[in-house]
Amino acid sequence: MNSIEILKAARKTLVEKGWAKEFYAFTSNGVRCAGWNPDACRFCALGAVQSVRGAAAGLQDGAYNALEAALPAGWTSIAMFNDAAESVDDVLALFDRAIEIAESK
């Protein structure tokens, strides 16, 4: 998958499976887990990317770089932005900006 496909799939994961704060993902029982865990059902922004990329893939790639570039002024961390967001809509807007950035390259 290319960066645009990863970002779109991760965004869809947030919409369809749910959003989380303070860890990559959670199971239905509220247990913290990696985004690629098959039991994961709610995801932070980075966990959603993990869910698409799988366990073998690192986060430092074009999708990650586009998310980082899409952060609003003053933010330097995707995880910190995710955890401070007031709703999933803030995180979905981040993905929308990241997709625009990736498509412009």
Q: What is the mean pLDDT of residues 78-96?
A: 98
Residue 60 is predicted with a pLDDT of 62
Q: Which is it for the CA torsion 105, 50, 28, 85, positive or negative? A: negative
The pLDDT of residue 56 is 62
Determine the pLDDT at residue 73: 97
- pLDDT digit string (tens) for 24-55? 999 999 999 999 999 999 999 999 999 998 86
The pLDDT value given to residue 54:
83
Q: Among residues 69, 91, 66, which one has the least CA distance to residue 81?
A: 91
Q: What is the pTM of this model?
A: 0.94
Helix (H, G, I), strand (E, B) or coil at 60: coil
Checking if the pLDDT of 21 tops 70, the result is: yes
